[in-house]
Chains A and B, each alone.
Chain A
Amino acid sequence: MAEQMSDDDERQQSPPSDLDFTSNKARTCIVTGSVSGHTEFQSLYPDQVLENVLENVLHFLTSRRDRNSASLVCKSWYRVEALTRSELFIGNCYAVSPARATARFTRVRALHLKGRPRFADFNLMPPDWGAHFNPWVLAFAKACPWLEKVYLKRMSVTDDDLATLAESFLGFKELVLVCCDGFGTSGLAIFISKCRQLKVLDLIESEVSDDETDWISCFPEGESHLESLIFDCVECPINFEALERLVARSPSLKKLRLNRYVSIGQLYRLMVQAPQLTHLGTGSFSPSEVAGQGDQEPDYVTTFAACKSLVCLSGFREIIPDYLPAIYPICANLTSLNFSYANITAEQLKPIISNCHKLQVFWVLDSICDEGLKAVAATCKELRELRVFPVDAREDSDGPVSEVGFQAISEGCRKLQSILYFCQRMTNAAVIAMSRNCPDLVVFRLCIMGRHRPDHVTGEPMDDGFGAIVMNCKKLTRLAVSGLLTDKAFDYIGRYGKLVRTLSVAFAGDSDMALKYVLEGCPQLQKLEIRDSPFGDAALCSGLHHYYNMRFLWMSSCRLTHQGCQQIARAMPRLVVEVIRSADEEEVYDRVQTLYMYRSLEGPRNDAPKFVTIL
């Protein structure tokens, strides 16, 4: 689950990598890196030895921020850095073209790409907007045959792409797809059958279509190198016998996350084969229907106890709480527990959580109520990350958690760094309390589900609460606000949120001033996503000085007009300004439904669907 923590948690303070080409035009003409790594120059280069030394030293540089800085020192450092960069991170796949990336970085071993903007997850954009992996895989297949690892987030990957991946990169080892779509089990089957060196296949919250293919059986026979197999999002039955055989012949397997079609009885059989697991996703955690009455229940407790290395537990997709005691033996070792698909009560949680002293990451449903949160606060003193999701994600549903549980957490879990909290009621007092009790907060995302809801005790807007967060939490880099908020809240953010990189705003603010405060006050701002807030063209213009420093700006259902967006597009040639309509809306209205704009070296993309207009 650590993979799922946002990249804001990484140390990334410098100008990101995808756009440091622009700072010196001359550079881009000089480098002619070739596959073998030997750069050819017309003029004699004075000290080849120095460059070799540099190369050896720069190999050790892993942080991309440091690498970006190093590449700016001089031409020779730029060149060598490009040759030694093995992990390439591109935060917006449209910011730079595959050709340009492969031309500069020729020895890349790992590619990390992000595609769609996050608000696309909430159906705010029609599907087929873009972010296709295809041009990337083709470019890398030609230029970087030593690619071993691909990590994609919110991209569209087709079965053909998977086939290309497996066929073009002989030593391919790791594939991680997070929130991706476009492929199915037939693509997986091809990929798996051709990837002989595969160590990691992680499918996380991706949409995988059921092509009725038995992909599990496609793993090559003989001992497998598999270290991680995550397929909890695959919504189709699998060939369990094949999986069992696979696990039995994968001695290096450390991470296994099963989908909901694996019953608890089957889980038992797998765990017996793999007591060395460190990360386990339990699948359904309920028995299959075929278990007869007379069948003896396996000894789950002993099996769990045998997995002494287990530190991360998730799954519980269709939990029968009666089976929960099975996990008691390992609670004391757990650092990460994901109950976010388990609709359990506080009473069911308590016996477990009271043993989880080492827990650092906890994801749960609000079914545990404030009482359950109090139990968490009482025991989990090492908690770093908490996410509380709603069972019933509607605006007007009952809210089982409130400021009571929230405050309890702040008092019990002083080391908290990241919180995502869905609730129906909140008070400024509780938020202020958290800002004081948890000064290490880096990520603060509070979602009061009712729109424009004020402090339910005082009736005041939630300005002071969020203000306190930006004031007191000096390390804060990611913030999501909600509830009734006036411009004042944004004034606070602009004034105190100096390290904020990601800001999410919905149904908030009174006027353009709010957006101005933020654009003028937050120098580190990189990702700004706004919906349904009264911000117009004037506010948009106030950010002209900053947009090249940002990865993207998303504004939907605000008060922008075509003229306003057009102005921005004219003023900033390196910005791609996309106006996105909902699929069947015609281009008649002057009001812009959705604006998505991002810096790019490539200009308007050529794969935009018809509901996207690039200004």
Chain B
Amino acid sequence: MMMLMMVSLFLTFFFLSHSPLFLNKHQLQRSPNMLGTEHDLNFKETELCLGLPGGSGGGGGAAAAGGGGGGKNEVESSPKTTGKRGYSETVDLKLNLQSKEGCMDLNQNLENGSKEKNHLTAKPPAKAQVLGWPPVRSYRKNIMANQKNNSDEISDRASSGSGGAAFVKVCMDGAPYLRKVDLKMYNSYQKLSDALAKMFSSFTMGSYGCEGMIDFMNESKLMDLLNSSDYVPTYEDKDGDWMLVGDVPWEMFVESCKRLRIMKGSEAIGLAPRAMEKCKSRV
């Protein structure tokens, strides 16, 4: 009798332990070695960090990336910002013009994602999404994401009375024609950056540099970037000034951006001091 009870107890535990638990081994198996370590580091960062609220933070629920890389990463930033950006927050504007599909992007997205999650309520970090799973076409995912943005926009509109879609022209130095993007279709710089990269991928004449982030707090880094021949995105704001993209919180950018231009870093160098000024005056 005792034996039967023991066996049944054992079986119960056995089945319980096989209940749906999400194992990370597949994810780790998937990423090639060159990213393996970085992948691990990110999760560790998530556990330890005590970042400031605000910036591009706030875990969202948006279904998917807007322009590029459909099913890659669903750990998104929401459009909400609470004013000042934390000093530790930087805006990642890596215009990954060469390999949009590369694991690099997944890594970057994870990094952003985990930074956002760290200071929220003590939930376990959201499971990093696997590339191309569930098998819903990017086309459909994008539409659902846009709908969500639009409904946010509609409720925003009801309260703030702002205009409809925010179409701006985008041109890239050297590309034969220009495009238009609806800034309201995106809710973060990362999404915009992905979309731009995708749009102009056939005209890549230089790279954005593997470390490329416009860190407005780090003057020397900024200067290095602007001295290179890598491409940086710039925009013309309401005042008619040309600024480097990424210096203000996303919403402010959408409101004030009139058009976008992707130019070589070396050409954008004249914008830097102004960018720093405006930045400091806002901060």
Contacts and interface: CB of A to CB of B under 8 A. Distances in A.
Interface of A: 119, 121-124, 126-127, 179, 186, 205, 207, 209-212, 233, 236, 289, 317-318, 340-341, 343, 389-396, 422, 447, 449-454, 456, 459, 504, 506-507, 531-532, 557, 582-585, 589
Contacts of A207: 139
Given A209-B199, A394-B129, A123 B70 contact: yes
A284 to B, nearest CB: 9
Contacts of A318: 147, 150
A289 B137 contact: no
A584 B99 contact: yes
B141 A393 contact: yes
Contacts of B99: 126, 583-584
Contacts of B282: none
A123 B103 contact: no
B50 interface: no
A450 B143 contact: no
A396 B127 contact: yes
Contacts of A317: 143, 147
A123 B134 contact: no
B113 interface: no
A589 B32 CA distance: 9
Contacts of A454: 18-20
Given A390-B136, A447-B135, A126 B147 contact: no
A508 to B, nearest CB: 12
A451 B138 contact: no
B140 interface: yes
A452 B23 CA distance: 9
Interface string B215-241: 000000000000000000000000000
Contacts of A557: 29-30
Contacts of A451: 22, 26, 130, 133
Contact of A422 (B70, B129, B134): B134
B109 to A, nearest CB: 13
Interface in B129-174: 129-141, 143-144, 147, 150, 157, 163-164
Given A209-B179, A557-B30, A233 B139 contact: yes
B91 to A, nearest CB: 23
A123 B133 CA distance: 9
Nearest to A393: B136
B134 A210 contact: no
A410 B72 CA distance: 34
A469 B227 CA distance: 63
B177 interface: yes
B186 to A, nearest CB: 13
B63 to A, nearest CB: 5
A583 B101 contact: yes
23 contacts: A122-B138, A123-B131, A123-B132, A124-B131, A127-B201, A211-B177, A289-B163, A317-B147, A343-B147, A389-B136, A391-B63, A393-B63, A394-B63, A396-B126, A396-B127, A447-B135, A449-B134, A450-B20, A453-B20, A459-B19, A532-B130, A557-B30, A584-B99
Leading 10 A-B pairs by shortest Cβ distance: A122-B132, A584-B102, A393-B136, A583-B99, A449-B134, A289-B164, A584-B99, A394-B74, A124-B132, A126-B101
Interface string B47-73: 000000000000001011000011110
A127 B69 CA distance: 11
A391 B61 CA distance: 11
A119 B20 CA distance: 26
Overall SS of chain A's interface: loop
Contacts of B126: 396
A45 B19 CA distance: 73
B41 interface: no
Contact of B20 (A179, A233, A343, A452): A452
Nearest to A120: B132
B138 A123 contact: yes
B180 interface: yes
Contact of A389 (B101, B132, B140, B178): B140
Contacts, number: 141
B87 interface: no
A209 B175 CA distance: 14
Contacts of A341: 140, 143-144, 147
Contacts of B164: 289
Nearest to B61: A392
Contacts of A504: 135
Contacts of B178: 212
A205 B99 CA distance: 24
Contacts of A459: 15, 18-19
A390 B100 CA distance: 25
A422 B141 CA distance: 14
Given A452-B20, A453-B20, A589-B32, A127 B177 contact: no
Nearest to B69: A123
Contacts of B29: 557
Contacts of B179: 209-212
B7 interface: no
Given A207-B139, A454-B18, A582-B102, A212 B180 contact: yes
B11 to A, nearest CB: 11
Given A123-B72, A205-B139, A393 B144 contact: yes
A149 to B, nearest CB: 24
B279 interface: no
B120 interface: no
Nearest to B104: A584
Contacts of B103: 582, 584-585
Contacts of B150: 318
Given A341-B143, A506-B135, A395 B101 contact: no
Contacts of A394: 63, 74, 129, 134
Nearest to A585: B32
Contacts of A506: 133, 135
